Amino acid sequence: MIVIYPGSFDPVTYGHIDIIDRCSKKFSKVVVSVLNNRSKKNMFSIDERVKLLKEVLKEYDNVEIDTFSGLLVDYAKEKKCNKVIRGLRAVSDFEYEMQMALVNKKLDDEFETFFMVARGRYAYLSSSIVKEIATFGGNISCFVPKVVENAINEKIGGGY
């Protein structure tokens, strides 16, 4: 079974990697799909986000990195895969995720959303939190792999 794991990944954190790692063991293939969302102010360009994902996930043979724009249901149809994974970190995620799952189901009745509960130790993590800690000089090494940490610090140093 192939699943899509969509998100902004600006940038990828250990929380995302944990979900991808666990999915890679339960599904035959995981397509990690980076949303090209111009409305969100991203630290990293779409190419940079893809590059970081490829680097940190290079050891996974059954994980593919892709990009998409527009509606997730249309992208899923294009990929001939109507199953999507979303991580749930806390109850606060649930309302938004439920709304998205219901809207997507309304748009395409064949579309299915699977929720994977984030590990407790990552339940508080988000890409914005990591960027904020780094901006104020905090240590982010326990939240992101080294290559991502360096990329964030380079952006901050460059006056992001």
The secondary structure of the chain, three-state, reads CEEEEEECCCCCCHHHHHHHHHHHHHCCEEEEEEECCCCCCCCCCHHHHHHHHHHHCCCCCCEEEEEECCCHHHHHHHCCCCEEEEEECCHHHHHHHHHHHHHHHHHCCCCEEEEEECCHHHCCCCHHHHHHHHHCCCCCCCCCCHHHHHHHHHHHHCCC
* Nearer Cβ to ligand COA (74/157): 74
Query: Segment 49-78, which members bind ligand COA (CB under 6 A)?
Result: 71-72
Please report whether residue 24 would count as binding ligand COA according to CB under 6 A: no
- 128 is known as an active-site residue: no
Binding status of residue 118 toward ligand COA by CB under 6 A: yes
Annotated catalytic, 80? no
Asked if 40 is an active-site residue, the reply is yes
Give the interface with ligand COA as residue ranges (CB under 6 A).
Answer: 6-8, 10, 13, 15-16, 19, 35, 71-72, 87, 89, 100, 103-104, 118, 122, 125-128
Any idea which residues carry the catalytic annotation? 16, 40, 89, 127
